[in-house]
Amino acid sequence: MMLERARFLDAGDPLREFRDRFMLPDGVIYLDGNSLGCLPKATPGRLEEVVREEWGRDLIRSWNTAGWIDLPAHVGAKIAPLIGARPHEVIACDSTSVNLFKLISAALAMQPGRKVVLSEPGNFPTDLYMIDGVERQGLAERRLAERGQLIEALDDSVALLMLTHTHYKTGETFDMAELTRAAHDAGALVLWDLSHSGGALPVDLYGCAADFAVGCGYKYFNGGPGAPAYAFVAEKHLEAARQPLTGWMGHAAPFAFSDDYEAAPGIEKLLCGTPPILGLAALEVGVDLIAEIGIDRLYAKSQALSEFFRQCLSERNVAIDLVSPTDPARRGSQLSFRHQDAYAICQALIARGVIGDFRDPDILRFGFAPAYLRFEDMAEAAQASGRGAGNRRMAARRIPGPGGGHLITIRPAPVGRSPWSRFGQPRCRIRHVFSAWPGCCGRQATYATSLRRAGAA
């Protein structure tokens, strides 16, 4: 019944034609676009053109003739309207981690007499590690406060409030306007990590008067593995902001080859080394596609998809705790569930072609990239989840192992339908045991490798 309803919803979906603009492998329901977005069909052709013509034929001239030198700012300007920024405020470069380091340092240098960088426990690890890195240089002091206490923790020692807009595990979003205002009232600057928001939900950096932001290019922007990230500096800070990675590409005149560093006046000052042209070219294709679809339409569909997925789960009486907010307006484009066997369920689902992901210790995470997912995918994923979480034949146990790892035991699907059979495993009810700690051996390692080879893990 849910499948029928799903097909009805798909038929009326104004975004349905965009699914065909992505390469989607047969037999896979991809609920991990919040980790690595799908490949746009236009990307291989564009890369071929950059490689064969711009690099192969035109060689070094392409820095000018193909506009390579301007590509970071050019792609940044295309990302800008999708995150509520102005074109000259965004640049595509480096990784999110590196951009965090640059902007934490820049913000601290603008706040003499204040050293505290305030964030929340459980923020994405790299965000916290990057504060640590600056702290180890004696330039920052890390302070963490639970989300409900952040505003209270904003005293006159806080230089920077640094938060991830959509939480990577729970999907809960912060009220960007409220927290930015509170930080400014306390004399602090604000740096937003938009990795799980950009390309999926509306963000209004300008409207919220945000100071700095960063985000990933390989998630909802579909820029490909290791795609360049993006960084935002509000116009009001473009002149004062100084970042510490003073490489030649951020120089006001890189080709003057002067002995002394002089930062570029605009957003280009965030550059460090030579930009990765292939990565930027692929990212541009992904960004163009998201811009063509439009953030508001994507957001509307993402909310509809996740709500429909919840309905499908409840229709099937799947007992699994939602840790994302129930109000779709308070979450990003994902749903996360807590289950003691989350890792095993996740692996079992992957083996059935439903790719979501697991976040330690017990979170099962499904991302709903609205550009290419169908309601039918929701109905089928919910059906498979029901089997994974509730079916005794898929029951899994987690046993604590050495070094903080754990053993998982899974009893696979019924004889004749074993998802493992395609890896050459016998089609019978044996118990498959594999390990989640490094250095596992024998059949455990073989299992993990076979999943990986099949592109499933």
Ligand X SMILES: Cc1ncc(COP(=O)(O)O)c(C=O)c1O
Residues belonging to the active site? 124, 193, 218-219, 365
Residue 123 CB, nearest approach to ligand X (Å): 8
Q: Does 334 bind ligand X (CB under 6 A)?
A: no
**H/E/C letters for each residue in 30-63?**
ECCCCCCCCEECHHHHHHHHHHHHHHHHCHHHHH
**H/E/C letters for each residue in 169-208?**
CCCEECCHHHHHHHHHHCCCEEEEECCCCCCCCCCCCCCC
CA proximity to 375, closest of 311, 323, 296, 295: 311
CB atoms within 10 A of CB 260: 5
Residue 394 CB, nearest approach to ligand X (Å): 28
Q: Kindly identify the residues of this chain, within the stretch 208-267, that bind ligand X according to CB under 6 A.
A: 216, 229
Q: Does 333 bind ligand X (CB under 6 A)?
A: no
Residue 129 CB, nearest approach to ligand X (Å): 10
Contact flags string 71-110 toward ligand X, x per CB under 6 A? ------------------------xxx-------------
Residue 312 CB, nearest approach to ligand X (Å): 26
Q: Does 379 bind ligand X (CB under 6 A)?
A: no
Contact flags string 36-65 toward ligand X, x per CB under 6 A? ------------------------------
Torsion region of 403: left, alpha or beta (phi above 0 gives left; psi -120 to 50 gives alpha): left
Contact flags string 164-193 toward ligand X, x per CB under 6 A? x---x------------------------x
Q: Does 201 bind ligand X (CB under 6 A)?
A: no
Q: Which residue's entry shows tokens 């998630």?
A: 219
Residue 268 CB, nearest approach to ligand X (Å): 20
Please tell me the count of residues contacting ligand X according to CB under 6 A: 13
Residue 197 CB, nearest approach to ligand X (Å): 9
Strands ordered across the beta sheet of 90-93: 90-93, 229-233, 212-215, 189-193, 158-164, 116-119, 141-144
Polymer length in residues for the chain: 457
When the beta carbons of 35 and 347 are compared against ligand X, the nearer one is: 35
Tokens of 189: 């600057």
- Residue 412 DSSP symbol: -
Sign of the C-alpha dihedral computed for residues 308, 312, 170 and 435 taken in this order = negative
When the beta carbons of 126 and 446 are compared against ligand X, the nearer one is: 126
When the beta carbons of 62 and 97 are compared against ligand X, the nearer one is: 97
When the beta carbons of 169 and 374 are compared against ligand X, the nearer one is: 169
When the beta carbons of 30 and 168 are compared against ligand X, the nearer one is: 168
Q: Does 163 bind ligand X (CB under 6 A)?
A: no
When the beta carbons of 6 and 163 are compared against ligand X, the nearer one is: 163
Tokens of 204: 């209004």
Q: Does 391 bind ligand X (CB under 6 A)?
A: no
Residue 226 CB, nearest approach to ligand X (Å): 8
CB atoms within 10 A of CB 280: 23
Please state, in angstroms and as integers, the Cα–Cα distance from residue 159 to each residue in 47, 156, 209, following that order.
42, 8, 16
When the beta carbons of 9 and 118 are compared against ligand X, the nearer one is: 118
Torsion region of 180: left, alpha or beta (phi above 0 gives left; psi -120 to 50 gives alpha): alpha
CA proximity to 103, closest of 243, 237, 228: 243
What CA–CA distance (Å, rounded) separates 457 from 5? 31
Contact flags string 117-136 toward ligand X, x per CB under 6 A? -------x-xx---------
CA proximity to 15, closest of 425, 370, 365, 314: 370
Q: Which of 195, 197, 306, 383 binds ligand X (CB under 6 A)?
A: 195
What CA–CA distance (Å, rounded) separates 19 from 373? 7
Residue 96 CB, nearest approach to ligand X (Å): 3
Instruction: Name the residues that contact ligand X, by CB under 6 A.
Output: 95-97, 124, 126-127, 164, 168, 193, 195-196, 216, 229
